[in-house]
């Protein structure tokens, strides 16, 4: 809650923030990007010997893109006196206007792809070099905790037990229409688990520390904030949030070389998208040239090509690198847990806290209390990313 005197002092900012929340709270891009027929198209693609391009179907959008963008740009940001905060809200409006355009264009390959680039960017040469550096490291022997012996119901029980270390509720649903094995919906505060997925001990630990330990933590911290911008998300928040989430895997001791290689393959796949590869081309690159298991190759290719070309996934590795370096400099991670915020806006977060318009994190990622990683190869990799 904001004190009455602060409301009077910052009434224009608060009204703009409230109006933006009303406009954008329904625009959760990922909820529109999960194909409804992924399993069916996977079977068809495999049956065609990897030649017939999948044709994915997506959920319908429940908004008018033109009216929504017009309403976003009607906010009178000149009423915000602080230059830094006004700049933040201006970037938020451009960010969500691009997201609306992206959501509107799902399934239209060229149009969606270019809107996706505006939102997430593309892998740079050094990002591809980092990915290849990881992929050239010799595989480690699989441990007993990598056997996929747990069902989605087992995973649900595991997550319900894990969340007891946090003081917030956990809604869990089983889903047949998500690209990942598990994902958090910020708007509904729900953890979705893929219904037909199988899980290993390490994967459960990884997902718990990633999805609950960071994504749910920042969801509920954002909801506790006086300003809705923390819950809806800052521009560039994806790289920071995914970096924090994978860093949580590392700190909990769950991050493996296999997991890092999956993140590296995502960079390679995103780079192939920029080079104009089709779905079948990217799959061929991963499966036949990099010798990745065909099911994993399909999932990564699906994640990158969904909607018409979605580059978001390369940000997991770049985000991890930035958060790791930030942590090694002794910088506190708690400001980055205050909501769906970004590393380049830490000063704005602290300023809003000084103004009394933002609060400190209520929930703190459990794994950040101490580094439990004992895998020296992982340390070597993180220390040597360019």
CB 2 within 8 A of CB 356: yes
Pinpoint the alpha helices (H) of the chain. Answer: 4-9, 11-24, 29-33, 38-47, 65-73, 83-104, 109-120, 125-135, 152-162, 201-207, 217-223, 229-232, 237-252, 257-274, 279-284, 294-305, 315-328, 346-354, 376-384
Q: Is 133 exposed, middle or buried (0-12, 13-18, 19+ CB in 10 A)?
A: middle
* Count of domains for the chain: 1
Q: What angle do CA 222, 218, 206 make, to 5 degrees?
A: 165
Report, in angstroms and rounded to the nearest whole number, the Rg of the chain calculated over CA atoms: 21
- Measured CA to CA, the distance from residue 256 to residue 361 in angstroms comes to 29
| pLDDT of amino acid 1 | 60
pLDDT tens-place values along the chain, 386 residues long: 676 677 788 899 999 999 999 998 767 787 889 899 999 999 999 999 999 999 999 998 878 889 999 999 999 999 999 999 999 999 999 999 999 999 999 989 899 999 999 999 999 999 999 999 999 999 877 776 778 999 999 999 999 999 999 999 999 999 987 878 999 988 888 999 999 999 999 999 999 999 999 999 999 999 999 999 999 999 999 999 999 999 999 999 999 999 999 999 999 999 999 999 999 999 999 999 999 999 999 999 999 999 999 999 999 999 999 999 999 999 999 999 999 999 999 999 999 999 999 999 999 999 999 999 999 999 999 999 99
Residue 9 is predicted with a pLDDT of 82
Domain that holds residue 39: 4-384
């Amino acid at each position: 809650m904001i004190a009455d005197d602060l409301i009077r002092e910052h009434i224009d900012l608060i009204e703009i923030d409230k109006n933006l929340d009303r406009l954008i709270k329904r625009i959760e891009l990922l909820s529109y990007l999960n194909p409804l027929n992924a399993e069916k198209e996977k079977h068809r693609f495999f049956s065609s010997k990897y030649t017939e391009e999948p044709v994915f179907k997506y959920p319908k959008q429940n908004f008018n893109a033109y009216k929504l963008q017009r309403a976003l740009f009607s906010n009178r940001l000149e009423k915000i006196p602080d230059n830094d905060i006004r700049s933040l809200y201006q970037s938020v409006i451009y960010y969500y206007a691009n997201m609306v355009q992206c959501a509107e264009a799902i399934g239209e390959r060229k149009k969606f792809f270019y809107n996706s680039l505006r939102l997430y960017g593309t892998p740079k040469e050094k990002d591809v070099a980092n990915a290849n550096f990881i992929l050239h490291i010799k595989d480690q022997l699989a441990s007993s905790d990598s056997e996929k012996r747990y069902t989605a119901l087992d995973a649900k029980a595991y997550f319900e037990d894990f969340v007891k270390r946090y003081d917030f509720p956990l809604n869990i649903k089983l889903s047949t229409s998500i690209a990942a094995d598990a994902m958090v919906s910020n708007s509904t505060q729900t953890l979705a688990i893929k219904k037909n997925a199988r899980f290993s001990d390490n994967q459960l630990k990884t997902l718990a520390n990633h999805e609950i330990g960071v994504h749910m933590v920042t969801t509920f911290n954002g909801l506790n904030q006086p300003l809705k911008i923390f819950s809806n998300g800052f521009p560039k928040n994806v790289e920071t949030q995914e970096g924090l989430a994978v860093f949580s895997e590392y700190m909990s001791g769950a991050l493996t070389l296999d997991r890092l290689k999956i993140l590296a393959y995502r960079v390679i796949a995103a780079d192939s998208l920029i080079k104009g590869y089709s779905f079948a081309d990217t799959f061929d690159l991963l499966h036949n040239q990099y010798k990745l298991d065909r099911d994993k190759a399909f999932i990564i290719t699906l994640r990158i090509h969904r909607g018409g070309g979605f580059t978001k996934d390369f940000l997991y590795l770049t985000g991890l690198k930035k958060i790791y370096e930030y942590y090694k400099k002794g910088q506190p991670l708690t400001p980055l847990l205050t909501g769906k915020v970004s590393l380049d806006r830490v000063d704005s977060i602290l300023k809003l806290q000084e103004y009394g318009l933002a609060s400190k994190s209520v929930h703190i990622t459990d794994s950040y209390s101490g580094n439990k990683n004992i895998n020296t190869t992982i340390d070597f990799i993180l220390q040597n990313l360019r």
